[in-house]
Structure 1
Amino acid sequence: MGAHPLHDATHNRCLLEREAEIVAAFEAIEPALKEIAAMQWQDGFAERAQSLALQRLGFTLPRAWLVASWTAPLDMRRLYAYAVFRTFRTLAERNFDRSLANHNEGEPADALIRRWGFHAIDITPCADGRLSGVVDYILRVPPAVVVHRKSYAGSMFDIEESMRHWAEVELRRHREGLPNRADEPTRYLKIGVYHTSGSDPGHEGCAAHGSDERRAASALLERLDAFRKAIENSFCCGASVATLLIGVDTDTDAIRVHVPDAEDRMSLERYVDNARLYEATRALEREAAKEAIRLAVAECAGVPSDDAATEGMRWFCAYLLKNNMAQIEYVRAYHNGRYTDLGHTERFITVGDSFDDVQMRNLAYQAQMDTVEEGASDLDIGIKIFTKLNVARGLPIPVIVHFRYDAKVPGSRERAVKRGQRLEAAIRERYAQLVREGLLYTFVTVKDSAVASRLEDVGEPNGATEDHCACGCDSMEARS
């Protein structure tokens, strides 16, 4: 049987090219550094090493770190951590095309989503790296409508922070009429994403919930309900939000959508399993497959397929299921239906604010937080994961601390820098033993929230003394 009638060949090819480029960039690091390590006592080593790094990795290394002798060989752990950081920064500056999801069946997707009754989407996935591509790959929602995407271990988001995000969006609707006027009957949609492993649910599920799928889903559903009640109890005039619970099988990227019923209630037992729906619709024509999805969603909600009161949420759920069928097809076509790396293969840990410009499965463990005290449990889980991934092989744990700022706000950048430096210092103090052993390195970056802004390094990572141009590039690269 051929591809699913709802697959998107063009979109999938573009995502595959992005994945291949990202994977190749990180996979090049270890072979290049091994070759550099082997030549460190040869004449003209520094120049040869820089030439090799530039050719194979696309950037040069801190010059001061390339001084070696038989009594003081190269610190390869430090070079490895730096190479991971620079690879990420280089990819971030690639400005990958994230507009692929901007249209749905020829119509602007953001306009459709507003027509279905939602003016903004806030997504909270688990910090697990296997959900790193939740927006661009798994759900394929246009970035323009995703006003917030912040990861937490076990998807246990901070309710008060989510309330602040909601308030910011609603204030802008009242003051600026963006993304639409405040008197339009649309809602803010909070999506929580939990995960499991279809082939090994007892070991490869959510670490924060002991790989217990029901526990993960139940805890997230309770958190979503609490967020909704918090908005309703704290603000007058019928303030309300919509919520949606989604599960992901990280083996295949197939989702299950817990469709709300006529009373806007969700249940752990009631959902549309997209893996099954994919199989049930494979032999249908395109329009028939779309209709089958809509009927499955209505049945799950327990309402007629023409029920006006639930139409918006039902159409949005059907939209996500249709998008995800293209992702299931992607995994089938390019990964033989199931990822070979069922567990963790993340490249680094990122803490602070989310960074969505580079998205791919298992790219990074994402522990978003403002302080270590606030996110200690999330970060501890990430360190535990990387102790097995990297430390067990003698490789360090690269940690990228990232915060956004608003250049329109006086002093915003300076405050973001201080937050980053404060969080970096706290991380290094919490894991002081790993730092002393050269098994944890931190890098701080900030970025203006404006579109097309670039990552900015804060200081030199771990005391590097490499010369830099004013623009932030390597001086050797600039001379090349």
Structure 2
Amino acid sequence: MDTRKRREHLHQAAHAAPVGMAMRPRPAAATAVMPSWPQRLSFCAPGMQADSKGDCVSTLCASHAHPLVDQARNALLADYERRVQARFDDIVPTLKQIAALQHDTDFETRAQQIARDRLGFELPAVVLADAWVTTLDMRRLYGTSVLRTFLELAREAYTQPYNGAEAEAMTRFFIECGFHEVDVSACADGRLKGLLQYILRLPQQAVPRHKSYAGTLFDVELNVKQWAETELHRFREGVPTLPDAGTRYLKIAVYHFSSSDPLHEGCAAHGSDDRRAGQAALDRLEAFGTAIENGFCCGASVATLLIGVDTDNDAIRVHVPDAQGGMSLDCHVDNMALYQATVGKAESEALWRLGAIVEEAARRHGRSAPESGMRRLIERLLMNNLSQIEYVCTNHRGRYADIGHAERFISIGDGFDKVHLRNLAYIGHMHTVEEGAADLDVGIKIFSRLNVARGLPVPVAIHYRYDSQVPGGKERAEARCRRVKAAIEARYPVLMRDGLLVCGMTVQAKQPGSDLEIVADNDIDAHGH
């Protein structure tokens, strides 16, 4: 159930009459003075309690700061979240103001001025010019405004100075732990869009391979190919380590669950079943490892790690590998429990507890402890995530208000590396619609509840990257954008007919600092996918 429907359901349930009894109308005065949920003390959701101001706060949060939390980074991330959310929240009020002016004689001029002042860009001129003939196409204006807002945010992010020192330090740490490459595959759910920047606190430049798939069902064959490319660089160029360095390729799979509503707000691809979601991700990791061992000689192997994320509060659950790298769904470290056990302690005691938790988890389940490098990595991920747990406590009272889906648009293709924020976009990595049909259908289903049910269109951002050193790379990327756009429109003809599907296309060179380039919507190949 998505967040908007949940609120409507709670509102209706609160005023439903008991079975067998008629429902009397409520006095008007009571409506005026009765605070709405969740401000009323008796209406705090399970797992929440009222503080001194009457606000509902998670019972898992502490009243004082955790000794291992990075408060400065939390402040920066909170400011970024507020600014990004405000940009999107301005769209509907701005369009409502413009809609009220559509019959004025100077409508086009005034509308563009309002859009520039409030949104930072102009609206499609052809839509405004046609308003005097037909009703103003608000669906198209909304869809293009969402996509243009994100485009401007992405451009701003790409112009920010590159913090190479942080990424290089993390890359060195990975190598010290025994991993020359870290590859992360997460579920396509928009609640994991902030996985690297917020939940795990990893510099994205240190994790160049990170893609999302519905249900964390990543493409094993594609990952084998990527592993081979990485190993080829090591043997030919000695990058990032020499072949005899004794390091390995690390594959991390990330699934998700909901602690407050596990039967409805977990992973939709697995029927909101936590164990099914975790087992499916674990099966893919094991298949990937087996494929490498069976397909390549000389003891080729990879390391794997399974992580679960509670999307209600961003706390992670790290499944601890044994000495041979095997994992179990039951043997894991619950970082929320670690947070609660250490929040009131001195820094030295909290660090000691953090250093012992991994081996304790293995011993409790009768398993051998992981190798030292893997243990160090898990401890770093746990410590990083402690900051995110406190971030949610400080800025969201310990649990997000939108525990369900509340994405702004669907991102198709290679995705945008620089913009990371929870519930910003549903992600589908694909080169053709056929190969990503399942992921795309899940996204459309989500937005049918979020947007279409309210008369709003589904915004789809199609983005592909190309190598500027390869002749014709840009042209092929643009052609792929057009083919995918045509295939999406052909797959959902009813949405297209009703103006409920708005697609935007961009390409970008892979080289650092490259600008986002808008692809003109012309010469669309309606047959190729």
Q: TM-score, normalised by structure 1?
A: 0.92
Alpha-carbon RMSD: 1.9
Q: CA deviation at 1:112?
A: 1.3
Contact 1:129 1:344 in 2 (8 A): yes
CA distance 1:383–1:461, shift in 2 (3 Å): farther
2:68 matches 1:6: yes
CA distance 1:308–1:338, shift in 2 (3 Å): closer
Partner of 1:348: 409
Q: CA deviation at 1:285?
A: 2.0
Q: CA deviation at 1:309?
A: 7.0
Worse-superposed segment, 341-350 or 95-104: 95-104
Contact 1:370 1:419 in 2 (8 A): yes
Q: Which amino acid aligns with 1:20?
A: R
Instruction: Give the SS at the match of 2:184.
Output: strand
Contact 1:98 1:143 in 2 (8 A): no
Contact 1:67 1:74 in 2 (8 A): no
Give the Cα–Cα distance (whole angstroms) in 2 for the partners of residues 78 and 354 of structure 1.
22
1:198-251 CA-to-partner distances (Å, cap 9, x unmatched) read 100000000000101100001110110000110111111221111100000000
CA distance 1:135–1:99, shift in 2 (3 Å): farther
> Superposition pairs for residues 53-452 of structure 1, below 5 Å?
53-69=115-131, 71-95=133-157, 103=166, 108-302=169-363, 310-452=371-513
Q: 2:97 aligns with which of 24, 31, 35?
A: 35
Contact 1:352 1:367 in 2 (8 A): yes
Partner of 2:37: none
Q: CA deviation at 1:98?
A: 9.0
Q: CA deviation at 1:294?
A: 1.9
Q: Which amino acid aligns with 1:274?
A: N
Give the Cα–Cα distance (whole angstroms) in 1 for the partners of residues 408 and 260 of structure 2.
23
Contact 1:443 1:462 in 2 (8 A): no
Q: CA deviation at 1:103?
A: 4.3
Contact 2:154 2:416 in 1 (8 A): no
Contact 1:444 1:461 in 2 (8 A): no
Q: CA deviation at 1:418?
A: 1.6
Partner of 2:7: none
Aligned length: 458
Give the Cα–Cα distance (whole angstroms) in 2 for the partners of residues 364 and 308 of structure 1.
38
Q: CA deviation at 1:263?
A: 1.7
Q: Which amino acid aligns with 2:475?
A: E
Give the Cα–Cα distance (whole angstroms) in 2 for the partners of residues 167 and 121 of structure 1.
14
Give the Cα–Cα distance (whole angstroms) in 1 for the partners of residues 425 and 403 of structure 2.
15
Give the Cα–Cα distance (whole angstroms) in 2 for the partners of residues 101 and 77 of structure 1.
41
Worse-superposed segment, 67-76 or 111-120: 67-76
Contact 1:85 1:443 in 2 (8 A): yes
Runs of 5+ in structure 2 lacking a partner?
Answer: 1-62, 525-529
Instruction: Give the SS at the match of 1:442.
Output: strand
Instruction: Give the SS at the match of 1:95.
Output: helix
Q: Which amino acid aligns with 1:285?
A: A
Q: TM-score, normalised by structure 2?
A: 0.84
1:435-466 CA-to-partner distances (Å, cap 9, x unmatched) read 11000011111111111112111114899xxx
Larger radius of gyration: 2
Contact 2:177 2:372 in 1 (8 A): yes
Instruction: Give the SS at the match of 1:150.
Output: strand
Partner of 1:475: none
Give the Cα–Cα distance (whole angstroms) in 1 for the partners of residues 422 and 487 of structure 2.
28
Identity rate, percent? 53
Q: CA deviation at 1:59?
A: 0.3
CA distance 1:225–1:36, shift in 2 (3 Å): same
Give the Cα–Cα distance (whole angstroms) in 2 for the partners of residues 462 and 409 of structure 1.
23
2:105 matches 1:47: no
Runs of 5+ in structure 1 lacking a partner?
Answer: 464-480
Instruction: Give the SS at the match of 1:199.
Output: coil
Q: Which amino acid aligns with 2:223?
A: S
